[in-house]
Amino acid sequence: MSDASTAQASEREQRTAVYVYGIVTDDIEPAPHARGIGDPPTAISVVRHGEIAALISEIPLDRPLGTPDDLTAHAQLLDGTAAVAPVLPLRFGGVVTDTEAVENELLAPNHDEFRSALAELEGHAQFVIRGRYVEATILREILDENADAARLRAEIHDKPEDATRDARIALGETVNRAIEAKRAEDTRRVVSALRELDPTVRERDPAHEDDAFHLAVLLDLSRQEALMGVLTELGEEWEGRVRLDLLGPMASYDFVTAHQPSG
């Protein structure tokens, strides 16, 4: 290579880095249409070491990372992979200097751990199940069941806000406690209904004050249709009371993630 070519290659290396999405088995080939972060989106390639590999793309160093579009592209790539093969996600991605660093600093030191984790994930993916209370329905339910809440509601009815401030605060606290109790009970109900599918379940913190439950479920992909059946039955049971949402299959963010590269 001429001195000019060497200088150009060195300059190019200084202007770019390698972004790592997640860890897969060494037999994975990215789909021709697979794209990663960036505008325009970057092409996906693979760095292999032994029986594992990393999904990567080359990115310019002069652009900010972590934009909403980046997070969406990152998740879409990993979730699409998880639907067909095990993947250990890097939750927020990792940036290293070059492909040699991917192999030497990430894959080689963690080879056996990553290989074992991928073997455990074989045939599985994560699903997220969320239920959100219908506000009017759950409030009516609480007022019907809780004498204190009903009394406080009657006390403030048609009265000025300033004159009933203490009662309104007390009512809000009473309702919140009642929702927390219902959330715990309804979460147990969902976990019990899922038990026949032999999942691994993680409870997530509520994302909204009206959340009835928020669960991450690691499930055998062959049971995806059965999962839909269980949720359909729950939806019919709770029609007008709880709205159900199902996300997935997706990468196993709540159960196992790859170590972030040191950079």
Confidence at residue 165, expressed as pLDDT on a 0 to 100 scale: 79
Quick one: tokens of 143? Answer: 């007022």
Mean pLDDT confidence for 15-26? 92
Please state, in angstroms and rounded to a whole number, the distance separating the CA atoms of residues 24 and 196.
29
Confidence at residue 263, expressed as pLDDT on a 0 to 100 scale: 57
Which pLDDT tens digit goes with each residue over 156-190?
777 777 767 777 788 888 888 999 999 999 999 99
- Give domain limits for the chain: 3-121, 126-250
Cβ distance 149 to 174 under 8 Å?
yes
Position 3 pLDDT exceeds 60: no
Beta strands in the chain (DSSP E): 16-25, 45-49, 52-60, 88-96, 124-133, 200-203, 211-220, 242-250
Mean pLDDT confidence for 140-165? 80
- Percent of the chain exceeding pLDDT 90 equals 62
Cβ distance 174 to 143 under 8 Å?
no
Mean pLDDT confidence for 88-96? 85
**Domain 126-250, CATH:** 3.30.70
Confidence at residue 14, expressed as pLDDT on a 0 to 100 scale: 58
Confidence at residue 7, expressed as pLDDT on a 0 to 100 scale: 47
Position 8 pLDDT exceeds 70: no
Position 10 pLDDT exceeds 90: no
Confidence at residue 260, expressed as pLDDT on a 0 to 100 scale: 67
Position 2 pLDDT exceeds 80: no
Strands 88-96 and 45-49: unpaired
Mean pLDDT confidence for 219-247? 96
Position 250 pLDDT exceeds 80: yes
**Mean pLDDT over the full length of the chain:** 88
Position 16 pLDDT exceeds 90: no
Please state, in angstroms and rounded to a whole number, the distance separating the CA atoms of residues 155 and 150.
9
In this predicted model, which residue has the larger pLDDT, 107 or 32?
Answer: 107
